[in-house]
Chain A
């Protein structure tokens, strides 16, 4: 509560009816961190992301960004969904432009178009500018979704299993696109990335938060310090990476086992 910059989550609980989905979540995420949220299904990791995005209010507790309470969606918190961040009736560039128009209403139209092109170039999508979402592959659609989040200029990026539906090659490519965006952003963007893929979480994040299931709560909070300068395959095979992966798998397995055993 003393930290006023970054994301503050204070004793947040959420329930749809009686059963709690999330129970007393306390987290402080300083600006510039790349946080990965992992957990079994039912751990409420997507729900937590929706609460941060302001799409739903918490049942109890308080969320704040840079000291400002989160009361609804805001342009400072861009979000990328798994497969539906774009409006299918708008071309890719129109999808980006509508975001820019909201983020910078005073900007003249021709500059807006130029900026949309820049955003698309940033994610390697200049070839698909005039296309519609149905004409794009899953990987290209997610590139466009990231470009839209960039267009909003949000200092906090929320991603809900954004690469979950992609094939391994596209997944790896987009992970690197995202890392490059994060590493080159000034000031450094804060990222909260939900995934169920432990390797992905370990590769991307510099902090890993594990949520336990039913009800969702934080069961582990790990600092990650892998050097991404080395080759991805070397990193995955390095002993330090393997040890971390074992540890995460163990924590997740323990939590799943707890559910199967009678109390």
Chain B
């Protein structure tokens, strides 16, 4: 038929046909310029800031606005920096021990369980039930039974970060590629040496994924725990000014906490790239 022949001929010259809606593969996409990238990255920020300015200007809520203007918030942040710094140090005395303990125990137990079918048979049924329990429900009990608030907060951060690290380390050990197993067997590597020199490095990409999830949980649990009974800290700072309707400082605290979390995640990412330099 004629129409068939027509489609055929246009298919032979797809350029004519698809000039306007060229698929990405048809024309090699030119990489966006540096300026363009910066503009793309800044887009959402600029939009939110603009909305914030507008909202603060058109919804004036007296001398104590629920929506403090950006300028007021900025000066509140500046004013609170010493207090926030003390809070950061206090929070880190909870976060670092909790997260470090979760990393060490999560990696060691994850690699042990991941390399042993016997341990898997007893641990996985337990983990399937224990891991999904939201760690926040442990907070009141931990505060009640542990001697200090700090210890209970460390415990809760530990629980929250432990499971994702454990799961990922175990999955990484289980997913060990056949070629590495073969090489280890050829060399006669076994026991601790096999786990340290073969399983652990091969599982590192998995372990770092687990640590990233665990670090996110750590910050959530840290700030939630601080709402309960801390006398210093990032979560405590926000809660304190919320109680006194000090919204400029509260918003400043939220922004500051977001920034600290972001920096911690970036640091972990840098460590990951350093440690996994051999993956190309």
Contact = CB atoms under 8 A, between A and B. Distances in A.
Interface string A67-93: 000001111001101001111111000
Interface of B: 179-180, 182-183, 185-189, 197-198, 201-202, 204, 277-280
Contacts of A152: 186-187
Contacts of A74: 188
Contacts of B278: 88-89, 132-134
Contacts of B188: 73-75, 102
Contact of B187 (A81, A102, A132, A133): A102
B182 A87 contact: no
B186 A87 contact: no
Contacts of A87: 180, 183, 197-198, 201
A79 B186 contact: yes
A99 interface: yes
26 contacts: A53-B186, A54-B185, A55-B182, A79-B186, A81-B179, A81-B182, A81-B183, A84-B179, A84-B183, A86-B183, A87-B180, A87-B198, A87-B201, A88-B278, A89-B202, A89-B204, A89-B278, A90-B197, A98-B187, A98-B189, A132-B277, A133-B278, A134-B278, A134-B279, A152-B186, A152-B187
Interface in A38-82: 53-55, 72-75, 78-79, 81
Most-contacted residue by chain A among B179, B187, B279, B280 (CB, 10 A):
B187
A191 B187 CA distance: 18
Contact of B185 (A55, A86, A133): A55
A258 B189 CA distance: 44
A54 B182 CA distance: 10
Contact of A73 (B179, B186, B280): B186
Contacts of A99: 187
A3 B277 CA distance: 50
Chain A interface bracket (under 10, 10 to 19, 20 to 34, 35 or more) = 20 to 34
Contacts of B198: 87
Contacts of B182: 55, 81
Smallest CB-CB A-B distances: 9 pairs = A134-B280, A89-B201, A84-B179, A73-B185, A89-B278, A88-B278, A102-B188, A102-B187, A73-B186
A85 B180 CA distance: 8
B280 to A, nearest CB: 4
A86 B184 CA distance: 10
Contact of B197 (A55, A98, A134): A98
Contacts of B197: 87, 90, 98
Contacts of B204: 89
A85 B202 contact: no
Contact of A102 (B179, B189, B277, B279): B189
Contacts of A81: 179, 182-183
Given A74-B188, A98-B187, A134-B279, 16 more contacts: A53-B186, A55-B182, A55-B185, A55-B186, A72-B185, A75-B187, A79-B186, A81-B179, A84-B183, A85-B183, A88-B279, A89-B201, A98-B197, A102-B189, A132-B277, A134-B280
A89 B280 CA distance: 11
A85 B187 CA distance: 11
